[in-house]
Amino acid sequence: MEGLTEKPLTGHLKPDGEALDISEYEGYGGYEGLRKALRMGHSEIQKEVKEANLRGRGGAGFNTGLKWSFVPMGKDAPRPKYLVANADEMEPGTFKDRFLLERNPHLIIEGMIIASFAIEAETAFVFLRWEYTLAAKRMRRAIAEAYERGYLGRNMLGSGFNLDLRVHVSAGRYICGEETALLNALEGRRAVPRSKPPFPQTSGLWGRPTVVNNVETLSNVPHIITGGAEWYRKLSRSGDGGTKLFGVSGRVKRPGLWELPMGTTAREILEEHAGGMADGFSFRCLIPGGASTEFICEEGLDVKMDFDSVQKAGSRLGTGTMIVLDHTVCPIAALHNLERFFAEESCGWCTPCREGLPWVARLLGAIEDGEGEPGDIETLREHTRSLWVGKTYCALAPGAMEPLKSGLAIFREDFERHIREKGCPSKRERG
């Protein structure tokens, strides 16, 4: 089949960094998935995607087909229904969705149309991070092209299916990436998460059934329909289906982004694709999937980068974009930086997150500045327990605690020396 490659997401991108326009996209077999989908039943599409084991690329790793299957279908279902592409990519160290938005917008649009058709949604939104101005421009242009060719709007390709697609540019908060906070923001309310249940699939945008999927997730959908679940699963080196955009930032030789099979090891990504550490820098550890995952050290590098394997290794795949810490980075400073980010991005709704994170950030700042006190490590450790899943309203604070929790164990010596020696030892050593 034309268009099918080992790299369904990035295989046909233009080398000059421009976006594929609609003719180029169609030239590679674009919108064939949609044509096929329109001939399939809603449940058939859902089943195919479920069997492909496409798992949510926003970081939670929930089976996409399964997520769709909770949407009430048929005549009695509440209407209108909505599909939202979560393009509010604000996870520190993560730049994978941006790549797709800027380079392959039609792939996202096609994925969104198929997803909307699968759940009978009549309106879809791209909820876009506000700093992504180039992406906004390219997405809007691509949407206009798709309308022109009859892929969007009323009676799409003569199928009787109607879909409107719009870009909504976020006002710019990290919490908007949380799907329910995103929905509140899209409704024009404060970006505060909602409690679940009810899940968005039953009571989402304006109280109607809604599916929120990550941009990368949706980009996989056309190929699953074209190539089938089995082909898609085989792209992977593990149980999770398909490929994944992996990224590396930090002091490596070639920081960047690559589409690789699910289950590629961290070591292969780091050493082969990113070219290993830059000269004069040695590897200390990495955060595998954006800021809200636990550290992986040298001995963990052989972990297969897929949802279950990384979880088993004590961390999370998250967004699959790793931040590498080298020997010159003070881990306390790095953690302080991260926690300050999370504290600032707390929406202020629940007490543990709103009040706990700033305290954590200030404690880390104090320790970094040589003003740490002996009890501080215990206070931090308590926070890693009390800002945990179920105790906070949403996953922001638990996410923030993941690097801290592992950092307190891995860098215990660094913490103690900072407190004992009233300052950063490495800074002092470097003069």
Which of 176, 333 has the CB closer to other proteins?
Answer: 176
Binding flag, residue 206, other proteins (CB under 8 A)? yes
Q: Does 82 bind other proteins (CB under 8 A)?
A: no
Q: Cβ closer to other proteins: 143 or 357? A: 357
Q: Concatenated DSSP letters for 173-220?
A: -GGGGSHHHHHHHHTTS------SSSPTTTS-GGGS-EEEEEHHHHHH
Partners of residue 41 on adjacent β-strands = none
Does residue number 350 form part of the binding site for other proteins (CB under 8 A)?
yes
202 binds other proteins, rule: CB under 8 A: yes
- Tell me if 356 contacts other proteins by CB under 8 A: yes
Residue 308's H or E segment, with its range, is helix 307-312
Q: Is 358 in the site for other proteins (CB under 8 A)?
A: yes
Residue 277, classed as helix, strand or coil, is: strand
Structural tokens at position 375: 């009890």
Q: Counting contacts by CB under 8 A, is residue 347 touching other proteins?
A: yes
C-beta of 239 vs 358, nearer to other proteins: 358
Token pair of 108 as six digits: 């996202």
The verdict on 197 binding other proteins (CB under 8 A) reads yes
- Reference 58, options 104, 122, 127; nearest CA is 127
DSSP states of 324-386: EEETTS-HHHHHHHHHHHHHHH--S-SHIIIIIHHHHHHHHHHHHTT---TTHHHHHHHHHHH
Is 207 a binder of other proteins (CB under 8 A)?
Answer: yes
Shortest distance, position 290 Cβ to other proteins, whole Å: 20
- Nearer CB in complex with other proteins: 366/395: 366
Q: Using the rule CB under 8 A, is 203 a contact of other proteins?
A: yes
Per-position x/- string for 370-409, each x denoting binding to other proteins as judged by CB under 8 A, each - no binding: ---x-x---x--x---x---xxxx----------------
Q: Which helix (H) or strand (E) holds 90?
A: none
Closest CB to other proteins among residues 41, 78: 78
Which are the contacts of 187, defined by CB distance < 8 A and separation ≥ 6? 205, 206
- Mark out the alpha helices in 70-193 (DSSP H runs): 96-103, 105-119, 133-148, 179-186
Q: Is 337 in the site for other proteins (CB under 8 A)?
A: no
User: Where in 310-329 is the site for other proteins (CB under 8 A)?
Assistant: none
Among 173, 223, 233, 244, binds other proteins (CB under 8 A): 173
Q: Please compute Rg for the chain using Cα positions.
A: 22
Complex with other proteins: residue 95 or 388, whichever CB lies closer:
388
190 near other proteins, rule: CB under 8 A: yes
Residue closer to other proteins, measured from CB, 44 or 382: 382
Structure tokens at 330: 């003070």
Count of chain residues binding other proteins (CB under 8 A): 37
Query: Do 400 and 406 form a contact (C-beta atoms < 8 A)?
Result: no
Q: Which residues bind other proteins (CB under 8 A)?
A: 173, 190, 194-195, 197-198, 202-203, 206-207, 343-352, 354-359, 362, 366, 373, 375, 379, 382, 386, 390-393
